[in-house]
Amino acid sequence: MPTMKAGRMNFGTGEFHVQDVAVPSPGHGEVRVKVNAAGVCLSDVHLIRGLVRPLRNGDAERTLGHEVAGTVDAVGGGVEGWTEGDRVALQALVAKPWGVDTMGVDYDGGWAEYVVVPHGVLVAIPDSLPFEQACIIPDAVSTPWAAIQHTAKVKPGEAAVVLGVGGLGIHAIQILRMSGAAPIIAVDPLPGPRENALRRGADAAFDPTQPTFVEELHAFLGNRGVDTAFNFAGFPGIDEQILPLLSPGGRLTIAGLSGNPFTVENSVALIVHQQRILGHYGYLPADVEQLVRLVHWGRLDLRDSVSAVLPLEHAHEAVRQLETKDGDPIRLVLVP
């Protein structure tokens, strides 16, 4: 039986290894994809470190990787419209009666030479879109897109704050600008991401670790509140800092998976001002297709979003770089 390299996480033992496993075969309704690029996300780091676990089958062993692009390699029975060699990006979410199954968590992902997926998750990508950019559209781009468009329902002219300007937050800056939000404020403890946010379209950037952070942000807004805030980072304490700054009817959307609790210190203000704390996860299938078109037509630029490309065998090093913010990476990409 042919084998391949795969980055496997044993959620029962908490161990992660790149190891040899059997090459999977597609079943009915499935397609095998030869992986050309797979993104490394902070949620992958959290899975490896045990900060986040699968909601079901918590002791399972899985190949990680939920940001994947490649070419169709083999087609199972009952699949029409796809042929060997087709260039594709893979949506990571599969709708189920209990919610969604996530690639790299609930079923094997793309930190591997090949991955088998339901044919419905395939999204065609043009020849002009490099695999390294295409692979990060599912999640790094589509998650902030859906958080902004669907969950928070941002309107033109609303004051927006992005908390954490890494792989998701930096694309939120660009999408908020496309959506007409104004002003757009980036919040991150590291100077590199703050500078990057200003280059990508933020109107201001602040360090939340500074004692004057809240006063500076409030002054920049002209003593008005924040209409919509997005936590894409999950760093401790930021939700407590931003909640008092929300305007009446303001929304805090939390998309960064951290597993950390937070406290609503003034629940009376939350109720009286009808503010909202919203959880956000994932995206809709049409979002990835729409974003591929936006990138293709130059409305969204991902050329500077891939900080480095590493071989799959160096997955541990990619995780280390992302976890320690070594070089302030936006997205790291593994190539089998």
Q: Which structure tokens are listed for 30?
A: 């499935």
Angle subtended by helix axes 169-179 and 191-200, to nearest 10? 30
Query: Is the predicted pLDDT of residue 234 greater than 90, yes or no?
Result: no
What's the confidence (pLDDT) of residue 285?
A: 87
Residue 75 is classified by DSSP as E
Which CATH fold topology does 3-136+302-335 show? Quinone Oxidoreductase; Chain A, domain 1 (3.90.180)
| Section 171-183 average pLDDT | 97
Higher pLDDT, 188 or 238: 188
- Which pLDDT score, from 0 to 100, does residue 85 have? 97
Give the range among 24-28, 142-146, 238-242, 243-247 with minimum mean pLDDT: 238-242
- Report percent pLDDT > 70 for the chain: 98
Per-residue pLDDT for 163 more than 80?
yes
Q: Is 55 exposed, middle or buried (0-12, 13-18, 19+ CB in 10 A)?
A: exposed
What is the per-residue pLDDT across 258-307, written as a single tens digit (0 to 9) for each? Answer: 667 778 888 888 899 999 999 998 899 899 999 999 999 999 999 999 99
Name which of 279, 201, 209 is nearest 238 in CA terms: 209
Supply the pTM of this predicted model: 0.91
Q: Does CATH number 2.60.40.150 belong to domain 140-279?
A: no
What are the boundaries of each domain within the chain? 3-136+302-335, 140-279
Q: What are 93-117's pLDDT values in tens digits?
A: 998 887 889 999 999 999 999 999 9
Q: Write the pLDDT tens digit of every residue in 62-104.
A: 999 999 999 999 999 999 999 999 999 999 999 888 788 999 9
pLDDT score of 27: 97
Task: Render pLDDT for 123-136 as a digit per residue (tens, 0 to 9).
Answer: 999 999 999 999 99
Examine the pLDDT at 237 and tell me if it is beyond 80. no
CATH topology match: 3-136+302-335 vs 140-279: no
- Has residue 145 got a pLDDT over 80? yes
Mean pLDDT, the chain, whole residue set: 93
Phi-psi map region of 39: left, alpha, beta (phi>0 left; psi -120 to 50 alpha): beta
Span 154-167, mean pLDDT?
96
* Residues 23 and 30 sit within 8 Å (Cβ to Cβ): no
| Environment class of 189 (CB within 10 Å of its CB; exposed 0-12, middle 13-18, buried 19+) | middle
